[in-house]
Each structure stands twice: as C-alpha cells, then as structure tokens.
Structure 1
Amino acid sequence: MSLSEILQKGRVAVNCGILGVRISRKYIYTHKMSEKPAEHTASNGFESKTPFLIGVAGGTASGKSTVCQRIMEKLGQQHKEQTERRVVCISQDSFYRTLKPSERLRAERGQFNFDHPDAFDDKKLLSILKDILAGKKVEVPEYDYISNSISHRSHTIYPADVVLIEGILVFYFPEVRELFHMKLFVDTDSDTRLARRVPRDIMERGRDLEQVLNQYMNFVKPAFEEFCLPTKKFADVIIPRGADNFVAIDLIVQHISEYLKKNSSDKVQLQLSTLAPSVPSSPQRSGKGGRPH
C-alpha cells in the first residue's frame, strides 16, 4: 500500500516505533485539502498556488518547535537563506498581546496566565495567516520571554510553499483552525514536559525554581487541561513522544516532500505554457477575415 493510500485511509498515530492506522471519518486529507488549491498572481506575473498551511499544537515543552525544526532539517531548509526557503516556521508566541501595566506587574511575579486564550491576539494571528495564504510577504514580531513583551524586532516571512505554525492554542480559535490544511498534535507525557520546562525557564528565561513551579501548578497545567488538550480531537495526525518519534516525523516529511515535488512540477509546467510563443490562427479556420467565429 502506498503512502498516499495510507494517509487517505485514516487518522495516523505512531507509538513505540509502530505505525498504526485508525479508520475513522476524520481523514488526514481534510475537506480543504481535497479541493483544488487556490491560485493567485505572484509578483513575477506567474500563477502560484496557495501555501500549504500546517498547524502544530501541543502542551508546553511538548516538543512542538523541535518537531518543526526536525521537519525543516530533513527537508534541507534550515540553512537556506530566508528568501530561498520553501518551508518556513512561525511561533504562536509571536502573537501574545501587549500587556496592561497591571498585568505586566503580575507577569513579573509569575501571576499572569500566559496559557489562557485571552493572552493571545488571535485577530492579528488570523490576519497574518490570511496574508500568508494570499502569497504576501509578512513581518512577524519577536517575543521577549524575559520582559514578557513583544520586542521592537521582527523577522520577515517570504512567500513559501509550506508554512508551519506551532503553538499551544493554534487549534483553539475556530477561524484560525479552519485555515490549516493539515493539523498535527504533539502528545508528550506531562512529567516529561514539566522536566523540560523547569530548566528551560530557569536558564533561558531568567525565572527561579519556585516561580516556575507555582506558575505551572496554578496556570500552565489547568490551562492545558481546559484549553489545549481538548483541541487534540481536531488533529489529523497525533505524534506521541514529540521529536523522539522519528517514524512519525519521517512520515510527515515524506508527505511534505511529495507535495513540494508536485508543486515544483506544476510551476515548471505553468511557466513553460506561459512562455510558449503563441501560434497565429489560420484564416481558413478563423472565419471571414481571420476573425474567430
């Protein structure tokens, strides 16, 4: 059975190195994926397809960004110039909303819930994703975890064939969720996630142990159970053990590779047909005076 047949038949979950396929009415190819890709006119005058948008959700420190990193590495995209990348990645953290002064004080004490949907600017995220789907170049802000604020720096996302968007609540907002052509959920044990989060927040984000643990117990864990975990049901592919699940990542990479090859082939054919010289119509076949009927 070919890869495409496996992907079309069911919802994929990979566990302990064994690929299991569950037959259900929710296919890896969603309704939107089965439709003919939308097209738009690019700046070079040629028609180009809408980017393939992949959402990557999961709890804190589940390995979402590492999964995206591995996918890009296997596709040979990590060390390419931004303008040459066919696959790019965006973090939902870039769309935290600006905190009010009172909220900023609470955040400094570790008493603000950054895992609640209200902490995000979902309208801005939706707007950026729509621009990306329209083939536009966009500016994505950078988030400063130490000051808990959006920095003045930003990075440019150029039009690409595949765009990965990772974050704890990328499936929570219905309007955003509906834009994804594929949805991945990184499912990692809660103890493992906590063991990763503690050293990360202490070493990379300047927090102390007591603050990290209090924030996890009071905000992170309850928010995961209330807002993030329920969105697992929307996933087309569930990845247990995150970036350690090489079988799942290889499967996804192969699917994306096939898409990129097909997209490249379509673009070449399109450009050749556009550049081909037009053959003048014969007067004998064009009606009186050479004009079409």
Structure 2
Amino acid sequence: MDNKRPIIIGVTGGSGSGKTTVSRAIYDQLNGESMQIITQDTYYNDQSDMTMEERKAVNYDHPLAFDYDLLYEQLNQLRHNQPIEMPVYNYVESTRSKDTIHIDPPEIIILEGILILDDQRLRDLMDIKVYVDTDDDIRIIRRIQRDMVERGRSLDSIINQYLKTVKPMYHQFIEPTKRYADIIVPEGGQNQVAIDLLATKVRDILVNRGHQFEK
C-alpha cells in the first residue's frame, strides 16, 4: 500500500439508508485528521443542454444519471495527490452549476453515494467498502422528511418518484452491489459499534503508515 496516497472509504446504500449519517459519524470520530467527504450526487451529469421538462423526466436513481468518468478521474487525481475542482450540482435547476469547489488532496477520503459500488473502477480505488442496510419503510420516511424540508418538494411528488423509480432502481441496481462490500452496516447511523470499528480500522491503516495520533 502506498503510504502517501489518501485512504478511500466508500459508503453506499439506498436513499435514506443513513449512509450520510454513517459518513459524518466516521468523519467526527476521526476529527482532527485531514479528511474530505465527497458525495456522488455532486457528479450528476451536466444537463445544461436539456429543457427543464427533460431534466425532470430523468431517472436520477439510474447509473446513467451519473458522470462516472469525471468522478473516477477526479478521485484518481486526489489519489495521486493532485488537487481537483469538484463540480457543484444545483438541485433547483437540476443541472451542474458553473461553480466548482477547490479540493486539495486529504489523508482520508469518504466517498458516499447510492451507486458508488456499481462501477468497478471506483471499487478498485477503495480501501474499505461499506454498505448501509436499512429497511425500505424507514428509508422512504427519511426521504420524505429530507426532500420536503431541504428541497421544497411536495409529498405527492416524493411518493410518486419513490414508487416509479427510487424503489425499483434500488432493487435493480443498488441492493445487488451489497456483494462488493467489505462491511454491511445494519441500522445506519444508529449502529455505533460498526462506526467505532470502521474508525478503528482507519486509524490502524494510518498507524501502519507511520502516522502519530495525539494522546
């Protein structure tokens, strides 16, 4: 293992599974280390050449909705200790913003998203692959709460999208990637034991690289 390249932790699971909570919990456990959370949602395709009606018709839970090439390219750049200009996705306009975020190579990268294990190139870059496994009922409730509060969507639109695309895409594309995971975490962010184990594993890798932790 290259002692100079970032450790890459992949955290996946269905929408509303708690993968973001798990990612944040790992981040908090390793507070003080050089870390960056990167979300796959940032890498939705640029749709500036499409009408708003066409953008609304896109299946955002399908692998084709994501720019895997750019995500792989930028993750590989960070892996080789090169900075990137990370894209910014505008959820209101349903396309990529003209703005970018400058990211310097950190020591630890947490890559979080629903389909990060679907692409073999991404899987091959990861040191630890985590699948957050949560019941469908819990996930839809969390999605409703999030999309109504954070994205200003109506209850009907959320339920219609869930039944039409989110649930079938989960069973077709996301759940099958569970077989690639090194660790399966039930109950998401509520599973403190799993989060503690993950943080301990990352610390062990850093120690093996000669990293000194403050006592």
**How far off is 1:120 after superposition?**
0.4
Pair 1:189 & 2:138 matched: no
Q: Indicate the residue corresponding to 1:173 in structure 2.
A: 119
CA contact (8 A) 1:56 1:184 kept: yes
Provide, for residues 136-158 of structure 1, a one-character-per-residue CA deviation record: whole Å limited to 9, x for no partner: 11121122222212223322222
CA contact (8 A) 1:185 1:232 kept: yes
What pairs up with 1:245-260 in 2 under 5 angstroms?
A: 245-260=191-206
State the alpha-carbon separation in 2 of the partners of residues 244 and 265 from structure 1.
29
State the alpha-carbon separation in 2 of the partners of residues 216 and 52 from structure 1.
34
Distance 1:53 1:138, change over 3 A: same
State the alpha-carbon separation in 2 of the partners of residues 206 and 141 from structure 1.
22
State the alpha-carbon separation in 2 of the partners of residues 205 and 105 from structure 1.
18
State the alpha-carbon separation in 2 of the partners of residues 93 and 175 from structure 1.
18
**How far off is 1:250 after superposition?**
0.4
Q: What is the TM-score when the length of structure 1 is the normalising length?
A: 0.69
Q: Which amino acid aligns with 1:68?
A: S
Q: 2:38 aligns with which of 74, 79, 90?
A: 90
Q: Indicate the residue corresponding to 2:154 in structure 1.
A: 208
Q: Which amino acid aligns with 1:98?
A: D
Q: Indicate the residue corresponding to 1:101 in structure 2.
A: 50
Q: Can you give the 5+ residue segments of structure 1 that lack an aligned partner in the other structure? A: 1-36, 39-47, 78-84, 267-293
Provide, for residues 31-76 of structure 1, a one-character-per-residue CA deviation record: whole Å limited to 9, x for no partner: xxxxxx23xxxxxxxxx61211111110001111111111111111
Provide, for residues 166-197 of structure 1, a one-character-per-residue CA deviation record: whole Å limited to 9, x for no partner: 00000001222221111000111110010000
Distance 1:141 1:90, change over 3 A: same
**How far off is 1:107 after superposition?**
3.8
**How far off is 1:260 after superposition?**
2.2
Q: Indicate the residue corresponding to 1:229 in structure 2.
A: 175
Provide, for residues 206-265 of structure 1, a one-character-per-residue CA deviation record: whole Å limited to 9, x for no partner: 211111100000010011110100000000000001100000000001111222233344
Provide, for residues 96-136 of structure 1, a one-character-per-residue CA deviation record: whole Å limited to 9, x for no partner: 0012424x31444xx32100011001110110111011011
State the alpha-carbon separation in 2 of the partners of residues 204 and 106 from structure 1.
23
Secondary structure of 1:118's partner? Answer: helix
Larger relative contact order (C-alpha < 8 A, sep ≥ 6)?
2
State the alpha-carbon separation in 1 of the partners of residues 121 and 26 from structure 2.
26
RMSD after superposition: 1.6
Q: Indicate the residue corresponding to 1:64 in structure 2.
A: 19
Q: Which amino acid aligns with 2:119?
A: F
State the alpha-carbon separation in 2 of the partners of residues 97 and 146 from structure 1.
14
What pairs up with 1:143-158 in 2 under 5 angstroms?
A: 143-158=89-104
Secondary structure of 2:125's partner? Answer: coil
Q: Which amino acid aligns with 2:157?
A: Q
**146-155 vs 200-209, which deviates more?**
146-155
Pair 1:141 & 2:90 matched: no
**How far off is 1:203 after superposition?**
1.4
State the alpha-carbon separation in 1 of the partners of residues 211 and 145 from structure 2.
46
Q: Indicate the residue corresponding to 1:127 in structure 2.
A: 73
Distance 1:214 1:251, change over 3 A: same
Secondary structure of 1:142's partner? Answer: strand
Q: 1:240 aligns with which of 180, 186, 192?
A: 186
Q: Indicate the residue corresponding to 1:17 in structure 2.
A: none
Q: Indicate the residue corresponding to 1:53 in structure 2.
A: 8
